[in-house]
Copies of this chain bind each other. A is one copy, B any other.
Amino acid sequence: MKTYQQLFEVFTSHINAANYGANPKELYEPINYMMQLGGKRLRPILALMAFDLFDSNIEKAIPAAHAIEVFHNFTLVHDDIMDNAPLRRGKETVYKKWNMPIAILSGDLMMIKATQLLCETETQNLKQLLEVFNKTAIEVCEGQQIDMNFETKKNVSHEEYLEMIKLKTAVLLGCSLQLGALIGGANNEDALHLYEFGKNIGIAFQIQDDILDTFGDGTITGKQVGGDIIANKKTLLLIELFESVHKDDKKLLDDLMQLTDTEQKVQSVINLYDKYLIKQFAEGKKQQFLDLAYQHLADVSVEEGKKSILINTAEELMNRVS
Query: Could you list which residues of chain A lie within 8 angstroms of chain B, going by C-beta atoms?
Result: 21, 23-24, 26-27, 78, 81-82, 100-102, 104-105, 107-109, 111-113, 115-116, 119, 126-127, 130-131, 134, 137-138, 141-142, 144-146, 148-149
In the bound complex, what is the Cα–Cα distance between A130 and B115 (angstroms)? 9
Does B149 lie within 8 Å of A26, measured CB to CB? yes
With both beta carbons as reference points, the residue of chain B lying nearest to A110 in the complex is identified as: B141
Given A78-B105, A82-B101; 15 other pairs, CB 8 A cutoff:
A23-B142, A24-B146, A26-B145, A82-B105, A105-B145, A107-B108, A108-B108, A108-B111, A109-B142, A112-B134, A113-B138, A115-B134, A116-B134, A119-B130, A130-B130
CB neighbours of A127 from chain B (8 A) = 119, 126
Does B137 lie within 8 Å of A102, measured CB to CB? no
In the bound complex, what is the Cα–Cα distance between A227 and B301 (angstroms)? 68
CB neighbours of A148 from chain B (8 A) = 26, 101, 105
CB neighbours of A142 from chain B (8 A) = 23-24, 27, 109
Nearest 6 A/B pairs, CB to CB: A82-B101, A116-B134, A27-B145, A109-B141, A112-B137, A24-B145
Check A104/B119 contact, CB under 8 A, given A26-B149, A141-B109: no
In the bound complex, what is the Cα–Cα distance between A100 and B82 (angstroms)? 8
In the bound complex, what is the Cα–Cα distance between A102 and B23 (angstroms)? 29
In the bound complex, what is the Cα–Cα distance between A108 and B134 (angstroms)? 12
Does A145 lie within 8 Å of B102, measured CB to CB? yes
Give, as a whole number of angstroms, the nearest-CB distance from A31 to chain B: 11
CB neighbours of A137 from chain B (8 A) = 112
CB neighbours of A144 from chain B (8 A) = 105
CB neighbours of A81 from chain B (8 A) = 100-101, 104
Can you list 26 A-B pairs with a CB-CB distance of less than 8 A? A23-B142, A24-B142, A24-B146, A24-B149, A81-B100, A82-B101, A82-B105, A105-B141, A105-B148, A107-B108, A108-B108, A108-B141, A109-B138, A109-B141, A109-B142, A112-B134, A112-B137, A112-B138, A112-B141, A116-B130, A116-B138, A119-B131, A126-B126, A126-B127, A126-B130, A130-B130
Partner of A119, one of B101, B108, B134: B134
In the bound complex, what is the Cα–Cα distance between A111 and B105 (angstroms)? 12
Give, as a whole number of angstroms, the nearest-CB distance from A26 to chain B: 5
Give, as a whole number of angstroms, the nearest-CB distance from A94 to chain B: 13
